[in-house]
Amino acid sequence: MPSGLELLSLSPPGWGGVLLAGLMASLQLAVGGYLLGLVIGIGGACGKLYGGPILRDLLEVYTTLIRAVPELVLILLLYYAGTDAVNQILLLLGFATVDISGLAAGIFVIGVVQGAYSTEVLRGAIKAVPAGQIEAARAYGMPPLLALRRVILPAMLPYAIPGLSNLWLIATKDTALLAVVGFSELTLVTRQAAGSTKAYMTFYLAAGVLYLLVTLMSNIVIGFIERHARRGMPRTV
């Protein structure tokens, strides 16, 4: 029976390399899902603030539903429904069905869930921008997308960053739920390593340390971004 540290070594008798590969998969999922969620969030926030009545109501239903149902259930539903839907559409269009990679399906699931939360965060942040600034952009004759890119997004960033950084931390932890549908990210890999070596404590603690490192490093980076976005703003206590 090898000791704890030997089990964590990077070369094959140890499982360290496998754990790190799992961590990379988790990070890919988190980054991809977070970015997709951000895109959905920007669209959703603009739709909720400036869209027509039907779009507004539909977006309200989307954010309410997603935020009221457990992520685990959503992941199961979207993971199967999403891959099924793509294959049905492909069949309808006369193409052969494809095997959708777990990574793409996982990013889709995390993105849809994150999109609902970031819609709310960004909507609040856009509303916090003084209305005069957005009106000034319109007075200069900027088309909506240019006004969004040049004025609304940069101006709302300081208000959005606390919420968005929280969402990033939630995204990194939500990736663990994909272990339940059998996607081999850090938590599932840890479970497999622990199960086959019977060194449960060693591996779960090691995975915990890895997750914690990701969180702590994220906090440092978020601090830099926040300082950059808040430059020139009055200091809050």
Partner 1 sequence: MSEETSALPAYIPPKARSLFEPHRLFLMAVFLVIVFCAICFMRWDWLPRYGGRLAYGVWQTLLMLFCTAGIGFLLAVPIGLVQVTGPWPLAWLARIFCTIIRGTPLLLQLWLLYYGLGSLFSQYPEIRSSFLWPYLRQAWPYGFTALMISFAAYEGEVMRGAFAGVPRGELEAARAFGMSRFTMFRRIWLPRAVHRALPTLAGETVLQLKSTPLVATITVIDVYAVISRVRQDTFLTYEPLLLLALIYLCLTGILVAGFRLLENRIPARGA
Q: If 0-12 CB within 10 Å is exposed, 13-18 middle and 19+ buried, where does residue 196 land?
A: exposed
Considering only residues 150 to 179 of the shown chain, the ones binding partner 1 according to CB under 8 A are 169, 173-177, 179
Among the listed residues 76, 167, 154, 157, the one whose alpha carbon sits nearest the alpha carbon of residue 116:
167
- x/- string (CB under 8 A) for partner 1, residues 56-75? xxx------x--xxxxxxx-
Q: Which of 3, 11, 12, 53 binds partner 1 (CB under 8 A)?
A: 53
Report how many residues bind partner 1 under the rule CB under 8 A. Answer: 51
Residue 56 or 230 with smaller CB distance to partner 1: 56
Which residue has tokens 């429904």? 81
Q: Which of 14, 21, 204, 226 binds partner 1 (CB under 8 A)?
A: 204
Considering only residues 71 to 110 of the shown chain, the ones binding partner 1 according to CB under 8 A are 71-74, 76-77, 80-81, 84
Binding status of residue 148 toward partner 1 by CB under 8 A: no
Binding status of residue 49 toward partner 1 by CB under 8 A: yes
As separate numbers, helices (DSSP H) first and strands (DSSP E) second, the chain gives: 10, 0
Residue 84 or 228 with smaller CB distance to partner 1: 84
Binding status of residue 145 toward partner 1 by CB under 8 A: no
User: Long-range CB contacts (< 8 A, 24+ apart) of 186-190?
Assistant: 186/19, 186/22, 186/23, 186/25, 186/26, 186/210, 186/211, 187/22, 187/26, 188/22, 189/18, 189/19, 189/21, 189/22, 190/19, 190/22
- Asked whether the beta carbons of 225 and 153 are under 8 A apart, the reply is no
Using CB under 8 A as the criterion, which residues of the chain lie in contact with partner 1 when the complex forms? 49-50, 53-54, 56-58, 65, 68-74, 76-77, 80-81, 84, 131, 134-135, 138-139, 141, 144, 169, 173-177, 179-180, 187, 190-191, 194-195, 198, 200-201, 204-205, 207-208, 211-212, 215-216
